[in-house]
Amino acid sequence: MREHDFPRAGRVNRRNRFDDELTFEKSHAEDVEWDETPDKPEFGDRWSTWDLSTPTERGPLPHPDWLVTELAAVDVERGVLKTGKEADVFLLHRHVPGTDRGCLLAAKRYRSHDHRMFHRDSGYLEGRRDKESRVNRAMANRSAFGKEAIAGQWAAAEFGALARLWEIARQLDVAPFTPYPVQILGTEVLQEFIGAPDGTAAPRLAQVRTDENGLADLWAQLMLGLTVLARAGFAHGDLSPYNILVHEGRLVIIDLPQIVDVVANPQGKRFLARDVHNVATWFTARGLTGLDEAAITAELLAEAGMRT
């Protein structure tokens, strides 16, 4: 898809925040003039940031065929996909100008100084510590520096979880149930966009209406995803029908910055049980029968190597 063929609805006309202005003042006093030479592509909002991330800050190998990694690529913002207390998600079109090479990405940008954080976020942060004591103190005191560090932790936690879960799913030869993590740069996490080629995002599970067979299939996919999560030692931490997408029959779990290590976090079992309750309640209300929350939770804890 060429850049001029892509719908431009929702385009945010703004100056690229990554641009720097270099100014040069003439030596003579009269009629001072300024030259602006921003490092900005002719088309698009910014150059691709792919080369700014280190190999460990990029998604697992091999990279998907659809992913644009060419250094000549540019990024074009297509609007806001989602706003939240801790981050906003933007639709990004990364493409190589003059070619049909392009892909859609979801750019999740965490706030720092004005970061409002998750409601009662201290429970999620248990078990997460920085190597430097001064950073831990700053986060505990919620100083400006501490808030930036927390925002960085949320971003790093989400990217790391997506990368690990993607690799584990591949090792177990099961279909990926999370978006592919493209790269992380500071507090921006780029990941696979789940939706149609025209930029229409996939609906949330809460919006999906399906028959009995479709409901049973979605539950089976969800249980497989929760099993892989548990085997990796994780609980989602905030799972609900509102952070699960359904695209062409594929169930995709999103929003993993609050992911919980069920072993390291003293409240890990409680978070896991709450995840199970939230989704089991929704499926039961729509007619799926035989869901035993206690048995499901115990099974997932066993997968994580824990006793109930």
* pLDDT digits 0-9 by tens, 62-110: 999 999 999 999 999 999 999 988 899 999 999 999 999 999 999 999 9
CATH classification of the domain holding 276: 1.10.510.10
Res. 136: pLDDT tops 80: no
Residue identified by tokens 């109930």 is 308
CA proximity to 299, closest of 272, 281, 274: 272
- Whole-number pLDDT of residue 149: 56
Of 152, 169, 198, the one marking the end of a domain is 198
Q: Answer yes or no: do 1 and 99 share one domain.
A: yes
Q: What is the mean pLDDT of residues 271-282?
A: 97
- Whole-number pLDDT of residue 110: 92
Instruction: Give the distance between the most distant pair of CA atoms in the chain.
Output: 84
Residue identified by tokens 């989704």 is 279
- Whole-number pLDDT of residue 44: 87
Q: Is 286 left (phi over 0), alpha (psi -120 to 50) or beta?
A: alpha
- Whole-number pLDDT of residue 38: 59
Residue identified by tokens 């709450």 is 274
Res. 17: pLDDT tops 60: no
Strand duo 102-110 + 181-185: pairing: unpaired
* DSSP symbol at 129: -
- Say what percent of the chain tops pLDDT 70: 74
Res. 127: pLDDT tops 60: no
Cβ-Cβ contacts under 8 Å for 156 (sequence gap 6 or more) = 184
Q: Give the Cα separation of 191 and 302 in Å (integer).
A: 30
pLDDT category of residue 207 using cuts at 50, 70 and 90: very high
Q: Answer yes or no: do 43 and 62 share one domain.
A: yes
Of 143, 170, 198, the one marking the end of a domain is 198
Q: Give the Cα separation of 187 and 155 in Å (integer).
A: 5
Of 198, 215, 234, the one marking the end of a domain is 198
- Whole-number pLDDT of residue 43: 81
- Whole-number pLDDT of residue 69: 97
Q: How many CB atoms lie within 10 A of CB 290?
A: 5
Q: Answer yes or no: do 162 and 301 share one domain.
A: no
Q: Answer yes or no: do 30 and 114 share one domain.
A: yes
Q: Answer yes or no: do 160 and 52 share one domain.
A: yes
Q: How many domains does the chain have?
A: 2
Q: What residues does 247 pair with on adjacent strands?
A: 250
Q: Answer yes or no: do 206 and 173 share one domain.
A: no
CATH classification of the domain holding 175: 3.30.200.20
Q: Answer yes or no: do 74 and 182 share one domain.
A: yes
297 lies in which domain range?
A: 202-308
Res. 36: pLDDT tops 70: no
Q: Answer yes or no: do 146 and 222 share one domain.
A: no
CA proximity to 236, closest of 279, 190, 286, 198: 279
Q: Answer yes or no: do 182 and 251 share one domain.
A: no
Instruction: Report residue 188 as tokens.
Output: 């921006």
